[in-house]
Amino acid sequence: MQTIDDLTDRLSTYLEKDYTQQIAEAYYFAEHHHEGQFRRSGEPYITHPLAVAYILSDMHMDHQSLMAALLHDVIEDTDATKEEVAEKFGSVVAELVDGVSKISQIKFESRAIAQAENFRKMVLAMTQDIRVILVKLSDRLHNMRTLGVLQPKKRRRIATETLEIYAPIANRLGMNSFRIEFEDLGFSALYPLRAQLIEKAVQKAIGNRDEIMSHLNETIDKRLIDENINARVVSRQKHLYSIYNKMRDSRKPFDEIMDVFGFRIITANVDTCYRTLGTIHNLYLPIPGRFKDYIAIPKANGYQSLHTTVKGLNGVPIEVQIRTEEMEAMANNGIAAHWLYKSDDELSPHHAQSRAHEWMKSLLDIQQQAGSSLEFIENVKIDLFPDEVYIFTPKGNILELPAGATPIDFAYAVHTDVGNRCVAARVDNRLSPLSAPLQSGQTVQIITTSGAQPNPSWLSFVITSKARSNIRHYLKHKRQSESVSLGERLLNASLSQLNSSLADLSEDTMERALQEYGFKTRDELLEDIGLGNRMAQIIARQLLNETESTADEERPGKLNALAIKGTEGMVITFAKCCHPIPGDAIVGHLSSGRGIVVHSDHCNNIQGREQKSEKYIPVVWSDEVEGEYQAEIRVELENQRGALAVIANAITRSNANVESINMEEKSANYNVIRLIISVQDRIHLARAIKRLRAIKTISKITRVKS
């Protein structure tokens, strides 16, 4: 069993004596407060924080991180307070401990919300001090190593959380050794039988491969010596989880995954890396499209290496990674290499530490834009993509984006304002759909206009969390301002029915109403009305202290109709069941959370509205109505080749636009086509139908109204 003496002996190799004494004091403080507490395995609880400190000592972490590791559960699980920890060990250690501690004093609605809130708290602490995440990852690693004693349900939950969040975070921070252990332990906990089968198959395959691996290793070694290149060659073994993922994703059997031989060549400097690459390509034939230069363009987590795949003897593929000793250290330890290999040199632009700080900054931006902790954790999960594409700006700068990113993601990566005002994109000087995934090496130019704004449909294809959170943030604030404006119009209309208006109300009256409904500002009340959550008529009566009966007696007439201009935005929508267009008789339905849904007066879905009259308001089309509106028409025509093209051409010539087409066969000779077209009003629709009637093959045209 590990002891504090073993730990201090180990730490004395790189820490001063004063620091090791402070670490010992932190241990005894934690041991005292955890006295009487035991782990599920039966061991004293203090063995867990001691093991976490051991993991951090392997990375040569500083004394404050090690003290935080020993104390990381005292605030959460004992009567010790943050103030007590700060007084005894300093405010920095107290902040580190608090950053790792869960929020225990608040009861949440569900485990998912609690997990999301705790994760948000940790991320915010992490952005202040990156050591928080190193303590947390070490804590999680020891918990994963001792997962076997837990109940199966809890074991699966912790393993899933590790695979979804902590393994990707370790990868994002360049800590490859942590990531591999997280993935293999999580895989074994979630799918024990699959893990055992793959492990047995790997052991068997290694026995068969040893001779080939040795031969390949000797051949590569000999060629490097002949070329006077000083390097060491090590064979590379895929870990269990990566084998499982590759089998599942590429739908290949185990034998096809394991027939790839991997080697890593470690050299002295970057020049030698490229010389080694040339030597390998002279020795074995390179496979086209399988070369990646992560030295010139490092990965987002700071990883640097040359990757190539070549054909060995009998066409056997060989994966070769070539890197320097420093890159090897970075690949395995990521930001932890900052402490493990300390130097006085300034951090290079590609250093994992600076990359990690850039990521932290982006997390802070995402947190500020997120509406809730669940939305935040969803965006962070999206951000933890392992693969990148490298896109060039028109000026030749390189932006790293997740695989599958679109021009919209690129626009938001350049600047939030560029994303918000994006209307089109040129990819390699050609206009490209905004939803088309980008490929590495492409040059992207974003076309913007001052009046443009994000489209809600972008949320269905954007990949990056920055784009997603900024689009949501913009739409939420736009919807909010539109809701306030509509709420004001609705409340004024209801007040005018009672011979009053918002301008006539005193501040005291409005203040009383806000207190009664639990709102802080007038805009919050108006927004709630605009979203259809509260009835404007009821609010108006209560503002004027009128009862239902007196209001009915004094009401001068019917509620004034609300004029629809078509510029109200997201709080007024048009029903898909009846497709109302300017010129139709219409009625408004107050839908909670959506605002007003406008239906045609004859729509089947609003029949019997007299029984729920409070949910409906009179609306009319404004004289200044703008925009295009969808109308549905049904066309019966003879079954002839090219008929669809003729119909689409006729609609286009009438300055209308075809939104969707649905064709069904009525008989052997006749087809029925349902079209949804965009028009400005009933007159425009009539012009389009008139053009269609001129087509000889069409026998009948009707507008679908419900």
**pLDDT tens profile 593-643:** 777 889 998 888 887 777 676 778 888 898 888 888 999 999 988 888 888
Selecting among 62, 76, 199, 400, the annotated active-site residue is 76
**What is the DSSP annotation of 662-689?**
EEEE-SSSEEEEEEEEEESSHHHHHHHH
Quick check: is 77 catalytic?
Answer: yes
CA 534 vs CA 553, 620, 695: distances in Å = 23, 21, 50
Task: Check residues 53 and 242 and name the one with the higher pLDDT.
Answer: 53
Q: With b meaning 16 or more CB within 10 Å and e meaning fewer, what string describes 284-321?
A: bebeeeeebebbeebbbbbbbbbbbbbebeeeeebbbb
Is the pLDDT at 321 greater than 60? The verdict is yes
Q: Which residues of 248-270 are buried (b: 16+ CB within 10 A; e: fewer)?
A: eeeeeebeebbeebbbbbbbeeb
Architecture per CATH, domain 629-704, reads as 2-Layer Sandwich (3.30)
Report yes or no: 352 and 301 within 8 Å, Cβ to Cβ. yes
> Residue 7 pLDDT more than 50?
yes
| The domain defined by 198-340 carries CATH number 3.30.460.10 | yes
Give residues with Cβ within 8 angstroms of 232, minimum separation 6: 265, 266
Q: What is the token pair recorded at 248?
A: 């599942």
**What letter does residue 166 receive in the DSSP assignment?**
I
Range 415-430 average pLDDT: 91
Residue 352 has pLDDT above 90, yes or no: no
Displacement of CA 16 from its chain's centroid (Å): 43
Tens of pLDDT, residue by residue over 216-225, are 889 999 999 9
**Burial grade of 370 (CB within 10 A; 0-12, 13-18, 19 or more):** buried
Q: Is 76 a catalytic residue?
A: yes
Extract the tokens encoding 164.
């979804």
Note whether 656 and 597 are within 8 A (CB): no
- Of 156, 29, 46, 143, residue with least CA distance to 87: 29
Which of 429-433, 442-446, 559-563 is least confident?
559-563
Q: Which residues pair with 286 in a beta bridge?
A: 310
CATH superfamily name and code, 4-190: Hypothetical protein af1432 (1.10.3210.10)
Q: Which residue has the higher pLDDT, 691 or 344?
A: 691
Q: What H or E segment, with its residue span, contains residue 701? A: strand 698-704
Catalytic residue among 25, 62, 77, 227: 77
pLDDT at 344 over 50: no
**In whole angstroms, what is the distance from residue 576 CA to residue 603 CA?**
11
The pLDDT tens digits of the residues spanning 164-186 come to: 888 988 888 888 889 999 999 99
**Distance of alpha carbon 353 from alpha carbon 311, whole angstroms:** 36
pLDDT at 369 over 80: no
What average pLDDT does the structure give for the chain? 83
The residue ranges of every structural domain in the chain are: 4-190, 198-340, 561-627, 629-704
The two three-digit tokens of residue 334, written as one number: 């990521």
Percentage of residues of the chain with pLDDT beyond 70: 86
Q: Which residues pair with 665 in a beta bridge?
A: 671
Six-digit token pair at 298? 């490092």
Put simply, whether the predicted model's pTM sits higher than 0.85 gets the answer no
342 pLDDT above the threshold of 80: no
Amino acid 425: pLDDT: 92
Q: What is the predicted pLDDT for the residue at 550? A: 40
Q: Which is more confident, 257 or 66? A: 66
Q: What is the arrangement of strands in the sheet containing 670-679, beginning at the earlier edge strand?
A: 657-665, 670-679, 629-638, 698-704
